[in-house]
Structure formats: structure tokens, C-alpha cells
Amino acid sequence: MSPDAMRVRLHLRRLRVLEVTVDEPERLEVVVEDTRSVVRCAHCGFRTRAVHDRRRIRVTDLTYGGRPTTLVWLRRRFRCHQCGERFLEECHPEFVRNRVTWITRRLARGLVRDVNRLPIRELSRRWGLGWHFIMGLVASWSSRVVAERRRRRCRILMVDETSLRRRHRYVTVLINGETGEGLGVVKHRDANALNGFLTQQGHRWLKGVKVVVTDGSESYRSAIRDRLGHATHVVDRFHVARWFASGLIEVRRRIQRIGDKGSRPAYHPEIFGSRYLQLTRADRLEPEARARLETILTTDPDLAQAWELYQALHRIYTAEDNEGANEALGEFLDRHYTRSLPEFEPLLDTLLRWGDEIFAFHDTDRATNGRLEGTNNKLGVLKRIGYGFAPQPTSATEPYSSPPQWHHGVDRDEGLIPRHRADPTSAEGGASMSSPTTVASCCKSHTPTEGPTSTAKPKAIHIRPRTDLRSQLQVRVCAHNRKAEGGLRWDHP
């Protein structure tokens, strides 16, 4: 024996090392065999220990000491004394295979983990495995991941829509607001889509949801009232900010035209050129940009009034609590009825319809859909990367799906086999997303909570008891007696 030799364990259960056939600086090969000596016949069920022959199967394992390691598994073929049939022993529980490729289960876990950081093509080059084999492996493990995620308690549920094919194919995306983990991608964006997902989760899981954040969709609100009536519904501030900006945009479009259609110039160059500057919050303007904007606003009083109304609405979200938000709402009403603009009249109706959900922002620790917007961005990137791949057909009865679909087929000889077409009725069917990256650029005032692997305790959510707020809201809009009446104000009971 060489003086620098040592004995190490493989740490693979139910395997016996027979010999090391290749021990070179470039590679390592180890011959192994199952430790069981007695097995049951696959045909009659009687026990036997008679080995007819052995077949050598090469199994790729994790590297040891930087060297590619291959296990040569002696798969035995037994002979039954009772029925006289010959049969192969079952696939070893530590191995994963398809029709031609064998790897260890710990290498499979490493490949699934590395896909979050490296492209599949790079992993295929490093390990000498097929691209389709790694892709099928990752997709098959996703069913286990999504099942585990949906068993965990979810206190903040984020719901939003995105398009897989614009104007043709829309889906509903749901994630856990505390951990950022994807829970599902549901076909369509209506109330039935969200109701179907919530029904699949069960009553116990729904009872743990305390906050639901969505966009301004009436369909989602209907489903939330049916299934999550006990939870606090919040409209994402990013979508509400677009509602606020709609009035300013319409005023700018009205006053910027200075010529007929097709003439040059058709628009006021300064007003049209500063259209994005006008949508910036006042507290984020640089001194040079503020001076330029003030010069532009002096050219038209309607534009200046619209900009002041827009900034007053933004202060609803920059306020520290509900009292400050109601003061900002009162300031908006004061300015609006002092010099009303017809473009802001529809916004009042929107505030009346969604006032509960808008002002719930301050009661739920400033919950937003920032993480979900980041997930939608990642879906868009994956869609562009996967351009040219044919989508896999999905069943209409499948509650949540995400192409491509694979599943594990199990039999006595083949072990775990990824297959291209998933059975919609199988318990292993369906797919999920990997853990999304947190992106909260649209809501910088929101601080994400710790992920599932953090040791810090989750931040407590203090929510006031929810009753029928719509019946108890007192909306008093009057320009003359606003100080006496209290104006338009959202007060939770």
C-alpha cells in the first residue's frame, strides 16, 4: 500500500465498496455493490439469494478531491428457485436514472441547486451530462418543491397577473410575501382561476392568510371576498400610483397640443419633453430638475394645479400612519374643489370604490407587491431565453401549471425516469417555479422580511379586526362645509 493512502467512506447507504479500479489524479473509479444478499422474486414474491450474473453500470457521482468520480455498480441478476425466472434487482435508492444516464441522488440534488446560479448548458458541459437529462431532472424535482411550499403557512399572499403571450395568454402568479417563494402559476386571470387555486389549498391554509396584496382587479377582489373574507385586502401602491398619474397625464395631453395632427410641431416641446419629469415625486427631484419643472409649470395654471393634486395624492403613501394619509386626502380635496379639473373626477370614483384597500396599506406594515413584480420580471426573462421552445400542452383541469412538464415514472427495473408528458391525474403532476429573486424597486419604503432559511423571527403583523367596512364608511364630499363635516375620510371601525 502506498504511504500516502487513506480510507474514506462514500456515505451512501446500502452500498458496499468492493475495490478501487482507477485511482489517478484525473479521475477515480470505485466498484460498489448492494449490501443486501436476499431479495424477493419479482415474479412470484419468494425470497432468493442465487445470483445468476452481474452487470456493470457506470454511475456519475460528486467529485472527490477535485477528481471526477464514477461508481461502477454491479447490478445483480437473480435466479428464483421457486419459479425458475431470472430478474434484475431493483434500482438502488441512492441512484437516479433515465434510459441511458445514471447519477447518484446527491449529485442530482447538487445539479438542482446549481441551476439557480448557472445555466443548464454550463452544467451539462461540466458534468458531461445531456441538457435534456438535467432539464428533466430539475422539472421533476419541482413538483416536490411546490408541494413543500404549499404546506407551509402563508401569512402574506401576493397575487398579480402577467402575460405569457401579450393579449392572448395571461396567467395569475401567486407567491408567499414573507419568503418570496413562488406558490403557483395559474392559467387565466379571472375570479375562477384564483378561486380554483384557493380551493386546492384547503381551509386550514386559507385560515392562516392574514394579508392579500393584489392589483386593482375586480375579479381578484371577488375571489378574495369569497375565499379570504377574514384577510385584509391591500391594493398594491404601484398600481394605485398609476391611477393617481392618470389625471395628470390627461391634463398634460390636453394642453400640450399646439398644432393640428400631422403638423410640426404638434406638441409644446417643453411640456411634452418633461412628461416623465412631471411624474416624479417632489421629494426625489434634484435641484436642477426642480428648477426646470417649476419653469415649465408656470406656463399653464391647469398643469400646475394637476401637478399639485398629483403630489397630494402621493403623500397618502408617504405618510407615517392613517392620520397622515387622511390629512393628505383632505389636502387633495381642498385643492380639487378650489380649482377643479374634469380629468380628476374619475379618480374620485376610484377612491370611493377602492378606499378600503388603499388605506389598508398603513394597517399591514406597508405591504406591497414588490416581490411579485420581481417574479414577473424573471418570468419575462425566462420567456425570452426560452424563445423557440414549443410549450407543452396542459390540461384544463390542472389547477396550476408551468411548462415544460415532467414527472417521475417508477417501476421495478427503471427507478426514477423523467418523462416529457406529465399525467394530469397523477399526484406528481404539475410544476412550479424556483425561488424568485426579491425585487422591490417600485416600493422602496417596504422592507422585505427574512427568507425561510433565516434564523430571525418573522416580523409580527398587527391587523385590526375586519368587519364590513363599506357599510361603515362615511363619505362626505362638500367644498363649503368640509371643515365642519370632516371631508372625505377613511376611518376603520
Residue 243 domain flag: yes
Dig out the grid coordinates for 158 from the structure.
Answer: 401576493
* In contact, 143 and 407? CB cutoff 8 Å: yes
d(CA 241, CA 211): 20
* In contact, 235 and 217? CB cutoff 8 Å: no
Domain end: 41, 75, 95, which one? 95
Domain that holds residue 266: 237-366+471-485
Unique residue bearing C-alpha cell 421552445:
389
DSSP letter (8 states) at residue 475 = B
At 146 the pLDDT is 80
Number of structural domains (the chain) is 2
pLDDT tens string for the chain (493 positions)? Answer: 678 777 888 899 999 999 999 999 899 999 999 999 999 999 999 999 999 999 999 999 999 888 999 999 999 999 999 999 999 999 999 999 888 899 999 999 999 989 888 888 899 999 999 999 999 888 888 878 888 888 888 999 999 998 877 777 899 999 999 988 888 889 999 999 999 999 989 899 999 999 999 999 999 999 999 999 999 999 999 999 999 999 999 999 999 988 777 777 788 889 999 999 999 999 999 999 999 999 999 999 999 999 999 999 999 999 998 899 999 999 999 888 888 899 999 998 999 899 999 999 999 989 999 989 988 888 888 777 777 666 554 433 343 333 333 333 333 333 333 333 334 333 333 333 333 333 233 333 333 333 334 444 445 544 444 333 333 333 333 333 344 444 455 554 4
Strand pairing class (102-104; 156-165): unpaired
Strand pairing class (86-88; 67-79): antiparallel
At 391 the pLDDT is 57
Residue 352 domain flag: yes
Residue 343 domain flag: yes
Task: Note the residue count of the chain.
Answer: 493
- Strands (E) across 80-118 are located at 86-88, 95-97, 102-104
Element housing 390 (H / E): none
Domain end: 41, 73, 95, which one? 95
At 212 the pLDDT is 96
Dmax over CA atoms of the chain, in Å, equals 102
At 476 the pLDDT is 33
Residue 481 domain flag: yes
Residue 41 domain flag: yes
d(CA 10, CA 30): 10
- Hey, what amino acid is at 199? T
d(CA 426, CA 428): 5
At 280 the pLDDT is 93
Exposed, middle or buried, 185 (CB in 10 Å: 0-12/13-18/19+)?
Answer: buried
At 1 the pLDDT is 62
Domain end: 53, 69, 95, which one? 95
Element housing 163 (H / E): strand 156-165
Residue 154 domain flag: no
Helix, strand, coil abundance in the chain, percent, nearest 5: 40, 20, 40
Residue 76 domain flag: yes
At 390 the pLDDT is 61
Residue 106 domain flag: no
Element housing 270 (H / E): helix 269-273
Give the residue ranges of DSSP H helices in 298-426. 301-318, 322-338, 345-359, 370-385
